[in-house]
Structure 1
Amino acid sequence: MAAAISDVQKWSGGHTDSILCLDCSDSGVVVSGSENGECTLWTADGKVLKTISKSEDSVTAVCFSQRKPTKFFISSGNKISEHDCQNLSEPVWTCEFNSEEVNQLALNSNEELLAACDDTGQVKVINLRERKLHRTLRKHSNICTSVKFRKKKQWELVSGSMDECVVQWECGRGRVMTILDMKDFVKESMPGNAYLVNPPLVHSVDISGNDRLLACGLENATVELFEFQGKKGITEIGCLKGHTQGVSQVHFPRFKSTDCLVSAGNDGKIILWDVSGNSAASPCKAEDREAGSSAGAMVEKFGKLSVIDHGDKINWITSMNTGNKEFVLVADQTEFISQYRIC
């Protein structure tokens, strides 16, 4: 697989403080939120369309609809609002089901459900058609940092938390399907007191486009990679080691979402990984370890395709595909968005 990250461009003029979150519509419109409560819409080539809000709280999460590309959601503090690009004078709808700050928003595949994870450790699942709270998911004992729905299982989602666990949910009945305790996968491979200094807190989770892979970005500088195996559960298939500080973001880019993964860290590095399972991209592959019995004796191998020293600590990454060009967008501690070309 020939792919690499290169050619950075900086987008400016949309914010006056650190950008915390990003998302992109299928039509190429980008939405971003900042520390000082600004929310800005951008064109695909980095021009500011409009700064639509100035709230008292930081804009911590944004989420575009993929079915209706003019619709998007933002969270500020514990408030969530729905907006329409065609009429930005006021929100379409607002709600306050969460009691503390929301950290990520996610839509399910038919976009009838919106999940919002927060600082209480809970995930609120909102019925958008009826505009009411569908379910509160309670299992985490610390801040819930990240949430994602599965692509082909519209009632299933995964959540990651500072309690070092990832939980797979069936949110129709609020049932816990699987709990992955990251200590079970990383503690024995960490020398000395490294575990105590850098515990595997979960900062970010994402699911591949074919619904097969689950990636978890951890505070101990690793990316744990798992495979969904139906009734047999979730099996660990690799541990990606390339960062020197906590992995703040993992993201399967929408244009290569079945065989590539992007990770970004507090070390300011951005790494593009080949996660197709047959990588010859780099000798710097994951630890080769046999998967569980449900995967037979197969050994998955993964490689780095590209490493970028971005410099600043990274808050969020997303991706876009426009004009037959593929990009990764990066938000960091500055008021600028960095656009990297994938080639």
Structure 2
Amino acid sequence: MAVKWTGGHSSPILCLDANKEGLVASGAEGGDLIMWSQEGISLGQIQFKGTDDVTCVRFSPTCPNKLYASHGEVISILDIRSFKGSIDSFHVNEEEINCLSLNETENFLASADDSGTIKILELENKRVSRSLRKHSNICSSVAFRPQRPQSLLSCGLDMQVMLWNLQKARPLWMVNLQEDETEEMGEQASGQLFNPALVHSLSVASCGNVFSCGAEDGKVRIFRVLGVKCEQELALKGHTLGVSQVHFLPDSYWLLTGGNDGKVMLWDVSSKVRKKQKSPIKFIHKKKIKTSVYPKQKRNDDVLGIDETSTELLPKLTVEHGEKVNWLSYTKIKGSGQILVADQSSCISVYPLNDF
């Protein structure tokens, strides 16, 4: 079973992130932000003024001691070595921020909010360089593409997925997942209106050309970027309710997904995308996951499901977490991979994974 990190938050945890050293930050309802050690011990706590939720936390890609956190309409920058308050803050969004993303060189920060607007902040000059306004509803997630510092992706509750270049104010490419599904399925797609493809989360693989989206219709879609447009490669059907979180593991085509059905799944999409990848990831994990995910314990088949025989693309690992997933993250603690799960409770669940 999962290891529980407790004794920190008193309200549901909404977001997680881990730095390269294995330290974990978590944000919760009511403005609560906590820093955790690799052993799950609280190292410090900040309570932002007001009652705004901490909706997203992101560690700097260039400085592991720097942390960005969104709470309400504000973005705060913190130094985790002196975890007492913000060292800087920005108020550039007009409505509550849902997601933050930093490009690899950390000169741009993107913040997506409830109005559907994405603000692009130049961190060196501390000014807004772009306001991207194309989503007609809440923009739920935004992510810069690795190796392409001026290219980013966004998705929202308008069922739209968009590809942007910071030099342009309009998207290079966009697709409505509901309309795309209807075109493919014809009249049979009318039933999908009861489960609209509101897009909750996206994640980009380390190669920068492959990304995934999790939607309310229970599907996880995998896309490939081809120049200034994108094409859908496949759709993963494992969750029975909306997919709230997707997360590519570093330097691989292994994908974590979490849903409102209380399940966490691990997928290997390398067989579907690697054969078309012109610039493959250098450090693809090639070993199979051992079926003994929990060392020195017998596997509980009610908790984990691993399929090794089916020719269909099924999850390599299924965790019956039991609670609606708010956020997923991944880190290595003492050399061992760990899945971090935030749900409607006030604790973090940690599931160990053997190395691939």
- When the two structures are superposed, what TM-score results if normalisation uses the length of structure 2? 0.86
In 2, the alpha carbon distance for the partners of 1:113 and 1:137 equals 14
Alignment partner, residue 116 of structure 1: 111
In 1, the alpha carbon distance for the partners of 2:114 and 2:157 equals 10
User: Does structure 1 conserve the Cα–Cα contact (< 8 Å) formed by 2:150 and 2:166?
Assistant: yes
Q: Tell me, what secondary structure is at the counterpart of 1:176?
A: coil
User: Does structure 2 conserve the Cα–Cα contact (< 8 Å) formed by 1:282 and 1:305?
Assistant: no
In 1, the alpha carbon distance for the partners of 2:126 and 2:311 equals 48
Q: How does 1:314-329 map to 2 (within 5 A)?
A: 314-329=325-340
The CA RMSD over aligned residues, in Å, is 1.7
Matching residue within 79, 82, 103 for 1:84:
79
1:332 aligns with 2:343: yes
User: Does structure 2 conserve the Cα–Cα contact (< 8 Å) formed by 1:114 and 1:127?
Assistant: yes
User: Does structure 2 conserve the Cα–Cα contact (< 8 Å) formed by 1:282 and 1:304?
Assistant: no
Give the superposition deviation at 1:284: 7.0
In 1, the alpha carbon distance for the partners of 2:340 and 2:255 equals 14
In 1, the alpha carbon distance for the partners of 2:125 and 2:165 equals 20
Alignment partner, residue 151 of structure 1: 146
1:163 aligns with 2:174: no
Give the superposition deviation at 1:148: 0.2
Give the superposition deviation at 1:192: 6.2
1:139 aligns with 2:166: no
1:223 aligns with 2:187: no
Give the superposition deviation at 1:328: 0.9
Matching residue within 21, 29, 37 for 1:35:
29
1:137-178 CA distance string (max 9 Å, x none): 010000000000000110000000100000100013334111
1:283 aligns with 2:310: yes
Matching residue within 65, 68, 71 for 2:66:
71
Give the superposition deviation at 1:194: 2.8
Letter of the structure 2 residue corresponding to residue 342 of structure 1: L
1:50-83 CA distance string (max 9 Å, x none): 1122432111111111210000111111011000
Give the superposition deviation at 1:90: 2.4
Q: How does 1:1-343 map to 2 (within 5 A)?
A: 7-55=1-49, 56-187=51-182, 188-189=184-185, 191=188, 193-231=190-228, 233-254=229-250, 257-277=251-271, 281=308, 283=310, 285=312, 302-343=313-354
Identity of aligned residues (%): 37
User: Does structure 1 conserve the Cα–Cα contact (< 8 Å) formed by 2:3 and 2:349?
Assistant: yes
In 2, the alpha carbon distance for the partners of 1:340 and 1:203 equals 23
Runs of 4+ in 1 over 6 A off after TM superposition: none
Letter of the structure 1 residue corresponding to residue 245 of structure 2: Q
Give the superposition deviation at 1:212: 2.4
Give the superposition deviation at 1:88: 2.3
Give the superposition deviation at 1:180: 1.8
Aligned length: 318
Letter of the structure 1 residue corresponding to residue 88 of structure 2: W
Q: Tell me, what secondary structure is at the counterpart of 1:195?
A: helix
User: Does structure 1 conserve the Cα–Cα contact (< 8 Å) formed by 2:220 and 2:235?
Assistant: yes
In 2, the alpha carbon distance for the partners of 1:339 and 1:284 equals 30
Larger mean Cα displacement after TM superposition, 11-20 or 45-54: 45-54
User: Does structure 2 conserve the Cα–Cα contact (< 8 Å) formed by 1:318 and 1:330?
Assistant: yes
In 1, the alpha carbon distance for the partners of 2:272 and 2:166 equals 34
1:19-52 CA distance string (max 9 Å, x none): 0000111111111111121100001121100112
Q: Tell me, what secondary structure is at the counterpart of 1:196?
A: helix
- When the two structures are superposed, what TM-score results if normalisation uses the length of structure 1? 0.89
Letter of the structure 1 residue corresponding to residue 247 of structure 2: H
1:78-101 CA distance string (max 9 Å, x none): 011000112223211111100000
Letter of the structure 1 residue corresponding to residue 310 of structure 2: P
Give the superposition deviation at 1:242: 0.3
User: Does structure 1 conserve the Cα–Cα contact (< 8 Å) formed by 2:238 and 2:314?
Assistant: no
In 1, the alpha carbon distance for the partners of 2:185 and 2:12 equals 35
Q: Tell me, what secondary structure is at the counterpart of 1:277?
A: helix
In 2, the alpha carbon distance for the partners of 1:165 and 1:102 equals 18
Q: Determine which structure has greater relative contact order: mean sequence separation of CA pairs < 8 Å that are 6+ residues apart, divided by chain length.
A: 1
Letter of the structure 2 residue corresponding to residue 247 of structure 1: V
Give the superposition deviation at 1:189: 4.3
Specify every segment of 5 or more residues in structure 1 that has no aligned partner in the other structure, as ranges. Answer: 1-6, 286-301
User: Does structure 2 conserve the Cα–Cα contact (< 8 Å) formed by 1:281 and 1:304?
Assistant: no
User: Does structure 2 conserve the Cα–Cα contact (< 8 Å) formed by 1:275 and 1:303?
Assistant: no
In 2, the alpha carbon distance for the partners of 1:278 and 1:120 equals 35
User: Does structure 2 conserve the Cα–Cα contact (< 8 Å) formed by 1:125 and 1:136?
Assistant: yes
In 2, the alpha carbon distance for the partners of 1:281 and 1:166 equals 33
User: Does structure 2 conserve the Cα–Cα contact (< 8 Å) formed by 1:106 and 1:115?
Assistant: yes
Letter of the structure 2 residue corresponding to residue 49 of structure 1: L
Give the superposition deviation at 1:281: 4.3
In 2, the alpha carbon distance for the partners of 1:273 and 1:17 equals 30
Give the superposition deviation at 1:123: 0.4
Give the superposition deviation at 1:193: 4.4
